[in-house]
Structure 1
Amino acid sequence: MAKGLHPRNVHQGNYDFNALCAALPTLSEFVFENQYNNLSIDFSNAKAVLCLNQALLKCFYNVDFWQLPEGYLCPPIPGRADYIHALADLITTEEGIPTGKQIKVLDIGMGANCIYPIIGSQSYGWSFVGSDIDPVSVKMAGLIVKSNKNLNAFIKLRLQKDEKSIFNHVIKANDKFTLTMCNPPFHASMEKAQAGSARKVKNLNKGKADQKVTLNFAGKETELCCAGGEIAFLKQMANESVNFASQVTWFSSLVSKSENVAPIKKLLTQLGAQQVKVVKMTQGQKISRFIAWKF
């Protein structure tokens, strides 16, 4: 039996829809009693998922304003929180988990949702720099940060103007980061992304062919795709990280496809990484992982 979420993850067990609706009454219009007599929402309904996220962020992270541009990635928050908590474990010492603004984290591709900086700043008081190649994402994330007083002092945003770079031009000469993190684009094209979305919705609808296929978590091409897919992105990230070895304690990235772990570990060893760790995370039947390395 797969283990559950990280022990410090506040999203254990089923969603408490009564508490969530109390925090955000507009969620109630999407909540219904399912066939098991439990409260739920239609997870293939993009508006319902967005409203659920707004309620979760308000209830657990004191975020009053959180919105997304039409069609942008709406992330599943419990799984995103696990990455943050697992990174906290990575840098934990005998004195405990390091907290506060002195822990500086770079989130590569933070997206319009800005989810990792939100969770990390509110859970541990870490300071974040979020970067993205999409101006709309940077503008929306900036509006979220500006609209929530508890985020203002913790999150800074940078537009990556060079679409062919990851760390280059984002990490400045005087920057020092405890961690970098990334949820990389893992499709080589939007066609492959849409095929994956169709499979996801089919599973959500338990294979009912007459259900309209929608992308429940949405996502723009810059969020989902890059030339060569995930492995190409990870290889570039590994190669660029060498140039910033003295400025970053731990680099990390999610790895969606398990077959990409071995070649990236091999490359990192060739590049001179002194430590390489692969950390697995589970959410129900889903298994995810991130790779972390330091020089």
Structure 2
Amino acid sequence: MSLNHHMHSRNIYKDNPPDFVQLSKTYPSFKPYVKVNKAGKGHVNFRNPAAVRELAKCLLHKDFGYTVDLPDDRLSPTIPCRLNYMLWVQDLLDAVIAEKSDEKMRIIDIGTGSSCVYPLLGVFINPNMNFTATEIDEINFEYAKRNVDQNNLTNCIKVVKVDSAIKTLLRHLVEDNTDAYKCCICNPPFFEDKETRKANGKMNSSCSASNVEAITTGGDLEFAERIYNESLVLKDSLVWYTIMFGKKSSFVTFKKRFVGNRTVLSTTYEFCQGSTMRWGLAWSHTPESIDTSKIPLSPFQSFNKTKKLSKPISFYIPSQTFDDGKDLLLNILKDLSIRAKVIRCCDRSAHIGAAAFEETWVGGRQRARKRKHNGNTTVVEDNSVDGALKSNNPIFEFHIELCLRFAGQILASFSTQNHTHKESMNGLVVHLRRIFSRS
């Protein structure tokens, strides 16, 4: 099933896929790889590495004006997928609160490959992007440098040969440079050894990648862990750390590292093209420098979550009176450092606007028990709530509808307008339900 309709909204191939027949007429080198059916539609065998290589060269020239050389025995990029990644990176950088709109966006590309495709696409998308592209393989380095030179991009793309003796992926670049970087990008090798690569024939069938491109100790998951561990040392030396995974199992496992981590802001994305999907994960140690409302949601996420997000999350608050239940909820929110303001209230219903600035409910059972033990049921007025919903960059905003039902029970319904905030709000609601079930 084609996933093209889930491509990034600004991807030029989303609603305008390559016309293989026309490409074969314009570029004779591509013609041998195009088969035309009776209806006149062209087809390409994507399991043929030579076809993938020629298609990449044609698309980079036709749609971006680049002339590139690609070796026969190295990985050839699929352009629509790589473009998805770079458009997502652009969105992440747009979410950074910058002092100057025209400042350079300095990006590190870890393992740029022979095509140097991410930097090439990046500077096409945004001329303010400036790349340091690293490469450990000698052949890839020579081709990448040639591709940058022949397209006159040496002023904004620097290709760096990394000595195999260097064990770090980022630190040796960042610590030796006085200029600040905004982001790193990486598409790590899939496999941990030759046997694993050989066994996974389906993933590897159309891949001309050399072992140095396809294999790394511990596979892509350990590679991602290395980047994460270095980010713990570098911290705000980069605003965003990003990775594109080729294996969903590695993506899912790595994503768990950020669950409940209140000091790190993380987000995910799906890159779709044809019948192939890749998974992106980005994190930042400086959430205060990012406008979370601008963090993008992938079209795939939007498509799958729209129906789920249409319904609020609800539970019942046991209470003798409506005011008691409302005041108890407000005190619990205050105890969790959540700013809340009653926007509308009557005898049987209330509408509350709220903003959370950190996930204080994660690991907060001891605080809840202490609050209950102290019997704190008095609401303390806090005039600073006014305007709080739009200040200080809350990690998420939400609304609560309270409605008195029967037998003294109050229905509390939680909702948020931002898709990216749903998971955090779910965690809060689970925590609140646990507190009220014990009261």
SS at match of 2:94: coil
State the shift of 1:19 in Å. 4.2
Other-structure match for 2:274: 284
TM-score by length of 2: 0.58
SS at match of 1:75: coil
| Counterpart contact for 1:252–1:291, Cα < 8 Å | yes
CA distances 1:93-127 after superposition (whole Å, capped 9, x unpaired): 4999x986711111101111211111111122211
| Counterpart contact for 1:23–1:59, Cα < 8 Å | no
Question: Which one has more relative contact order, counting CA pairs under 8 Å at least 6 apart?
Answer: 1
State the shift of 1:192 in Å. 2.1
The separation in 2 between residues aligned to 1:263 and 1:42, in whole angstroms, is 33
- Match among 83, 86, 89 for residue 84 of structure 1: 86
Return the letter of the residue paired with 1:131. Answer: T
State the shift of 1:139 in Å. 1.4
- Match among 29, 32, 39 for residue 29 of structure 1: 32
RMSD across aligned C-alpha pairs, in angstroms? 2.7
The separation in 1 between residues aligned to 2:39 and 2:186, in whole angstroms, is 37
Other-structure match for 1:178: 182
2:249 equivalent to 1:246: no
2:72 equivalent to 1:70: yes
> Using a 3 Å threshold, how does the CA distance of structure 1 residues 99 and 117 change in structure 2: closer, same or farther?
farther
Return the letter of the residue paired with 2:56. Answer: N
CA distances 1:28-82 after superposition (whole Å, capped 9, x unpaired): 2332203664112232332222111111000111112x12223100111111110
> Using a 3 Å threshold, how does the CA distance of structure 1 residues 138 and 273 change in structure 2: closer, same or farther?
farther
| Counterpart contact for 2:11–2:83, Cα < 8 Å | yes
Return the letter of the residue paired with 2:125. Answer: S
Other-structure match for 1:256: 246
For the pair shown, which has the larger CA radius of gyration, 1 or 2?
2
| Counterpart contact for 2:7–2:84, Cα < 8 Å | yes
| Counterpart contact for 1:121–1:127, Cα < 8 Å | yes
Other-structure match for 1:4: 6
| Counterpart contact for 2:268–2:280, Cα < 8 Å | yes
SS at match of 1:91: helix
The separation in 1 between residues aligned to 2:47 and 2:253, in whole angstroms, is 35
Other-structure match for 1:208: none
Q: Which aligned pairs between 1:78-117 and structure 2 lie closer than 5 A?
A: 78-93=80-95, 102-117=104-119
The separation in 1 between residues aligned to 2:51 and 2:113, in whole angstroms, is 20
| Count of residue pairs the alignment pairs up | 278
State the shift of 1:18 in Å. 4.4
2:172 equivalent to 1:189: no
Other-structure match for 2:432: none
Other-structure match for 2:394: none
SS at match of 1:245: helix
User: Larger deviation: 235-244 or 280-289?
Assistant: 280-289
- Match among 33, 48, 51 for residue 54 of structure 2: 51
CA distances 1:234-289 after superposition (whole Å, capped 9, x unpaired): 11110011222232110100122333345434445798752011112222332221
The separation in 2 between residues aligned to 1:192 and 1:113, in whole angstroms, is 26
Runs (4+) off by over 6 Å: 98-101, 269-272
The separation in 2 between residues aligned to 1:42 and 1:261, in whole angstroms, is 28
State the shift of 1:9 in Å. 0.8
Q: Which sections of structure 2, spanning at least 5 residues, go unmatched?
A: 286-439
The separation in 2 between residues aligned to 1:200 and 1:269, in whole angstroms, is 29
SS at match of 1:26: helix
> Identity percentage over the alignment?
25
TM-score by length of 1: 0.84
User: Larger deviation: 229-238 or 13-22?
Assistant: 13-22
Return the letter of the residue paired with 2:23. Answer: L
